[in-house]
A and B are shown apart, each in its own frame.
Chain A
């Protein structure tokens, strides 16, 4: 009996904790949006953050994009050749990329490269009292630290996703056409013909949603690094960063499923 109540207590606390966390992150997000109305002007900061995200993630995105496309070419070829329909390779590659792999992989790569760095940077500012210093200068830390990153991500995520898609299509081409001998005309024809506005729209919606989710989670984790425990140690930052990466990645995959099921 005691064990049973213990278990219920544990589960209850766990669920409660999740709701409290969701509430806090919601408030965090709203305070960030409120920053739009207050100084400082965000233009310069946003440009800097776009550069930061792009600079950090561009290379891995090109790299993973190429290999995703290549693997799609390979798998698609073997699957389709069973039915003698290699000609559909182009459409298989492009639809998988634009609708699923592009937004998801791009988001995961940016989480690993840029969001982790953002979380650590903000976490260090927290434990070194720099966030307190900002507040006491009447500079809203949400508006100054979080909002520019969020705005930058809303611009950078779709662009990087696009890069991933384009590189991926060429990766599929390299394997499918050059290596396995699919007709190039049929490949490109499949690419152009099967892609519809709806698919592109789904890709964009996903990358925008992922941008908001990953940036909000990562900056939130950094912003509250060590705050609950009232401690200011290096391990608070490392813990926050780990948790930011894991939570963001999981959230991306869950959100991907939800968006897909709504939009299909």
Chain B
């Protein structure tokens, strides 16, 4: 349990590259303990990349990410393991181990890291499956699940160690509105019950405003809005307003380069 209003994650001027291509530009924000932090933005703007930095799957430059005040770029193996034992992650594609059943997927971290008896682990697995609305699917293989079910099984796995910090990449993509609303409630009650801190990437405006305590809106690797849901709603940045009112781009933003590409095709 963590007391609220404590800064858990601090990001300062984070830049990120794939090869020469820059995908994150000078990001700065803070995530407070026992809050739901929502990350929104257009597809391809770098949200999943940002999560990778926060969980240590992509190395961050020194001085850009602090967790509980400590710069993660200098962490050693033991410090990372320590951190990884405290967090849970839902990957955008679920990333279930496809050679194991759903139940074995969820049980794996418990089997490796705890001395819990088998019966206890089985009950815990069944409880986690029930929380995400997948009761009775434990014996199935990941390939036998639908996309939305795979996502929820991944969430159940992320919850198996009762993490202090939960990172979720688009929990409700591919889900019907009823199930998606159920997941929103689950995330809220995880925060409420366990005092969890959540970092949630989502495209669903409604769900973002329902669960978020703090949010950022990203566009092309930059943060264009950062604040509480009310502050974001009041912001009169045109791009943010366009995002919130779900208006499509009026014209193709790279119209000239699009035309030049078309012409290149003809010339060859």
Direct contact between the two chains A and B in their complex (CB within 8 A): yes
Interface residues of A (CB under 8 A from B): 39-40, 121, 124-125, 128-130, 132-133, 135-139, 230
A137-B108, A137-B109 known; A129 vs B95 contact (CB < 8 Å): yes
Judge whether B112 and A137 touch: CB under 8 Å: yes
Judge whether B112 and A124 touch: CB under 8 Å: no
Supply 22 A–B pairs (Cβ within 8 Å), ascending by A: A128-B93, A128-B95, A129-B91, A129-B93, A129-B95, A130-B97, A132-B91, A132-B95, A133-B95, A135-B84, A136-B55, A136-B56, A136-B57, A136-B87, A136-B89, A137-B108, A137-B109, A137-B112, A138-B84, A138-B109, A139-B109, A139-B112
Inter-chain pairs besides A39-B112, A124-B98, A138-B81, 4 sampled, C-beta below 8 Å:
A40-B112, A132-B57, A133-B95, A137-B113
**Most chain A CB neighbours (cut-off 10 Å) among B18, B84, B99, B112:** B112
Contacts of B99 in A (CB 8 A): 121
Please report the C-alpha to C-alpha distance between residue A14 and residue B96 in the assembled complex, in whole angstroms.
38
Contacts of B80 in A (CB 8 A): 138
Tell me the nearest residue of chain B to A128, going by C-beta: B95
State the majority secondary structure of interface residues on B: mixed
Please report the C-alpha to C-alpha distance between residue A138 and residue B111 in the assembled complex, in whole angstroms.
12
Judge whether A139 and B108 touch: CB under 8 Å: yes
Residue-by-residue, is B96-110 near A (CB-CB < 8 Å gives 1, otherwise 0)? 111100000000110
Contacts of B113 in A (CB 8 A): 39, 137-138
Please report the C-alpha to C-alpha distance between residue A139 and residue B95 in the assembled complex, in whole angstroms.
15
Interface residues of B (CB under 8 A from A): 18-19, 52, 55-57, 80-81, 84-85, 87, 89, 91, 93, 95-99, 108-109, 111-113, 161
Tell me the nearest residue of chain A to B99, going by C-beta: A121
Please report the C-alpha to C-alpha distance between residue A39 and residue B55 in the assembled complex, in whole angstroms.
21
Tell me the nearest residue of chain B to A39, going by C-beta: B112
Contacts of B85 in A (CB 8 A): 138
What is the distance, in angstroms, from A122's C-beta to the closest C-beta of chain B?
11
A39-B112, A138-B84 known; A133 vs B89 contact (CB < 8 Å): yes
Contacts of A39 in B (CB 8 A): 112-113
What is the distance, in angstroms, from A44's C-beta to the closest C-beta of chain B?
10
A39-B113, A135-B57, A137-B112 known; A125 vs B87 contact (CB < 8 Å): no
Contacts of B55 in A (CB 8 A): 136
Please report the C-alpha to C-alpha distance between residue A138 and residue B81 in the assembled complex, in whole angstroms.
5
Judge whether A137 and B84 touch: CB under 8 Å: yes
Contact residue among A125, A138, A230 (Cβ-Cβ distance under 8 Å from B97): A125
What is the distance, in angstroms, from B199's C-beta to the closest C-beta of chain A?
13
Contacts of B87 in A (CB 8 A): 136
Contacts of B19 in A (CB 8 A): 230
**Most chain A CB neighbours (cut-off 10 Å) among B95, B96, B108:** B95
Contacts of A132 in B (CB 8 A): 52, 57, 91, 95
Please report the C-alpha to C-alpha distance between residue A138 and residue B95 in the assembled complex, in whole angstroms.
15
Tell me the nearest residue of chain B to A48, going by C-beta: B99
Contacts of A139 in B (CB 8 A): 108-109, 112
Please report the C-alpha to C-alpha distance between residue A20 and residue B20 in the assembled complex, in whole angstroms.
21
What is the distance, in angstroms, from A230's C-beta to the closest C-beta of chain B?
6
Judge whether B18 and A230 touch: CB under 8 Å: yes
Tell me the nearest residue of chain B to A232, going by C-beta: B93
Contacts of A125 in B (CB 8 A): 97
What is the distance, in angstroms, from B163's C-beta to the closest C-beta of chain A?
10
Judge whether B98 and A128 touch: CB under 8 Å: yes
What is the distance, in angstroms, from A164's C-beta to the closest C-beta of chain B?
28
Contacts of B52 in A (CB 8 A): 132
Please report the C-alpha to C-alpha distance between residue A176 and residue B81 in the assembled complex, in whole angstroms.
62
What is the distance, in angstroms, from B94's C-beta to the closest C-beta of chain A?
9
Contact residue among A130, A136, A137, A230 (Cβ-Cβ distance under 8 Å from B98): A130
**Most chain B CB neighbours (cut-off 10 Å) among A40, A130, A139:** A130
